[in-house]
Amino acid sequence: MADLDDLLLKTSRTFALAIPLLPEPTREAVSLAYLLFRIADTFEDATEWPRERRLKALEDFARAVETPDDLAALTRGWLDEPPTKHEGYLELLRETPAVVARMNTLAPGVRRILIHHTQRTSRGMADVVAKADAQGHFRLQTLQDLKDYCYVVAGIVGELLTEVFVHDAPSLQAVKAELEARMVAFGEGLQLVNIVKDASDDAKDGRAYLPKSVERREVFALANADLDRAAEYVEALQRGGAPRGFLAFTALPVMLARAALRAVEQRGPGAKVPRDHVTSLYQTLESTLDQGGSLRSATA
């Protein structure tokens, strides 16, 4: 059986810190969702593969996550000519059949949520890859292109999380409309910060997410606006009486994204949040939750 925590540590940064804060059974479901999306993302970002190979892998994966009869054979084919040199992603790819098998042990409603949204993001990523050149290199042209891309790879994550949260904590039905109004911004804001932070490395790999026609200040303004909505999403969870783990899991990435965006604004792409500042943010979050205080100031 796949060791989900180990795979998270080898493939994630922020979410390897945040997912363990969730209570079960939500923790297992969100771990599997992250790993499934990471597999799709590995195909989209497959620097070792040309465009057509990426497109086929994304469609095969979207199909196999629901009907995994030939998934073992597909996995062997993906690894015969690896899509990446990243050891963590390759290990996850080897474990794809085990991850899908583990997903199939979830409650039927949650399983359907994960399949539906994994297929949506995989096929949305394929639409992005289809616009690349033969080698898989592409450049987004407009701010709307950037927003559309962030929706496909991260806005859908916000939708998935909201459905899982409401499934696992039915009391959140009372704030479901508030969550739904903000769930896309929750995912998109975190993704925008990652794009701004990693812009230089992505461009070297042939993925230019920041359009030349868009000024840097516009991208930062969009990221800040999305993070404001993401903070409101966390506040809505708190008003709805969400379990403490839901609050910690959603608040911590917003806090880290705020800090990362400030670092990039001050020092440019590639700037990192110091480890001691990450620790300080986590301690602030825990203290606020211990005291039953509002998360508004922590996520601002």
Nearest alpha-carbon partner for 61 in 108, 136, 115: 115
Question: For position 132, what pLDDT does the model report?
Answer: 86
Question: For position 216, what pLDDT does the model report?
Answer: 86
Q: Residue 28: pLDDT band by 50, 70, 90 thresholds?
A: very high
Please state which of the ranges 90-99, 173-182, 204-213 shows the lowest mean pLDDT. 204-213
**pLDDT above 90 (res 209):** no
Question: Across the chain, what does the average pLDDT equal?
Answer: 94
Question: For position 203, what pLDDT does the model report?
Answer: 65
Question: For position 269, what pLDDT does the model report?
Answer: 79
Q: Do domains 1-136 and 138-300 have the same CATH topology?
A: yes
Three-class secondary structure of residue 274 per DSSP: coil
| 51-64 vs 108-130: helix crossing angle, rounded to 10 | 170
Q: What is the DSSP letter of 69?
A: G
CATH superfamily of 1-136: Farnesyl Diphosphate Synthase (1.10.600.10)
pLDDT tens digits for range 252-264 = 999 999 999 999 9
**pLDDT above 80 (res 206):** no
Rounded mean pLDDT of 10-24? 91
The DSSP bridge partners found for residue 208 are: 139
**pLDDT above 90 (res 133):** no
Q: Residue 16: pLDDT band by 50, 70, 90 thresholds?
A: confident
Question: For position 211, what pLDDT does the model report?
Answer: 87
**pLDDT above 90 (res 175):** yes
The DSSP bridge partners found for residue 207 are: 138
Count of alpha carbons within 13 angstroms of residue 166, beta-carbon side: 17
The ranges assigned to domains in the chain are: 1-136, 138-300
Rounded mean pLDDT of 127-152? 90
CB 216 within 8 A of CB 261: no
Which alpha helices (DSSP H) does 12-142 contain, by range? 14-18, 26-44, 51-64, 71-80, 87-94, 96-103, 108-130
Question: For position 1, what pLDDT does the model report?
Answer: 66
**Position with higher pLDDT, 90 vs 214:** 90
Domain 138-300 has CATH 2.60.40.1260: no
Percent of the chain with pLDDT over 70: 99
pLDDT tens digits for range 67-126 = 999 999 999 999 999 999 999 999 999 999 999 999 999 999 999 999 999 999 999 999
